[in-house]
Structures are given as structure tokens and as C-alpha cells.
Amino acid sequence: MRLRTPQQRRLAAIDLFVGCTAAQITALDRLGTEVALAESTTLCREAVTPAQFVVVLSGRVQLRRGEQHVLTLTPGAWFGHVALLAGAPAEHVSAVAVVPTRVLVFSRREFFSMLAGAPTVAATLRAGESARVAAEAVPGGVEAHFVPSATAGA
């Protein structure tokens, strides 16, 4: 099976999905919902258990603790997985789109369907990958994966 749409090819290029087969990418494309966010849109709030897993497709999402900027997530970054896997609040930050941004959102049900259908994704999220979660790079811990172009601090 080949990747047929530009969106499927874009998904296949995201770090998290690189090990997926074409059939798995096609299934992921059907699971997630692409959402366009206006600048200043809040995706999740500090201390609230998120009900979704989010992959940044374009734009920038800033993680904030209170009013303090902790980390900026750029295309290819993702967050929400730790809380979904743990079934408990893991968000110690709010996530806010700081420019017009497109994200791929997986509901709790879609997230667990993704894990069941794409073992490489499940392994990456459960065991961690070579680029460690931001909790190791940012004091206070943030449960997000960031790509090298993501920036911490101001």
C-alpha cells in the first residue's frame, strides 16, 4: 500500500510515525482530527487532565506554567500522552497557540486505537525515544516531546 494523500505523506514524516507502515499511516489519518487554531487559542489548562493527544503540524504552541513561558513546541512535537497513559493529571502547564497553528488531535478513544494499531507508536510513547521528553530538559517537568527546533525559556 502506498501513501496516497499529501496529509498521509506529512504524517509519515513526523518523528513519532516514521516507523509506521503505509497501512498504519492511512489508519492514523482516519483517526485524528486536524484542527486549525487561531493565535491565543488554549489547547489545555494547567492542572487539568487532558482528554486528548496533540501533534503540532504547523505553527507554534507555547507551554506555560502560570504566566511563565516554559517551552515552545514546533511542528512534529506532541503532548498529552503521559496523562492519557497514566489516567491522571500530568499537565503542569497550559498549552496555547501563539500563532495560527494546525494540530492533529486524537481523543482518548482514538489515542488508544492508535496505540493498538501502530505498535511502533505505542513503543515510542511508552518507553520513550532517543530525544527524551521535555521533563528532562525543563526544570519542573513538562510532559511533551519536542523536536530540536523547539525552544525553551523566553
Domain boundaries, the chain: 33-144
Torsion on CA atoms 137, 142, 148, 151, rounded to nearest 10: -90
Q: Rounded to an integer, what distance in angstroms lies between the CA atom of residue 154 and that of residue 110? A: 34
* Strands 94-97 and 101-107, bridge-based pairing: unpaired
Q: Which ranges of 44-117 does DSSP label H, i.e. alpha helix?
A: 81-86, 108-117
Taking the whole predicted model, whether its pTM rises above 0.85 is answered as no
**Class of domain 33-144 as given by CATH:** mainly beta
Contact (Cβ atoms closer than 8 angstroms) between residue 93 and residue 63: yes
- Residue 29 sits at the vertex; the CA angle it makes with 149 and 13, to the nearest 5 degrees, is 35
Render pLDDT for 82-119 as a digit per residue (tens, 0 to 9). Answer: 778 777 665 577 899 999 999 999 999 999 999 999 99
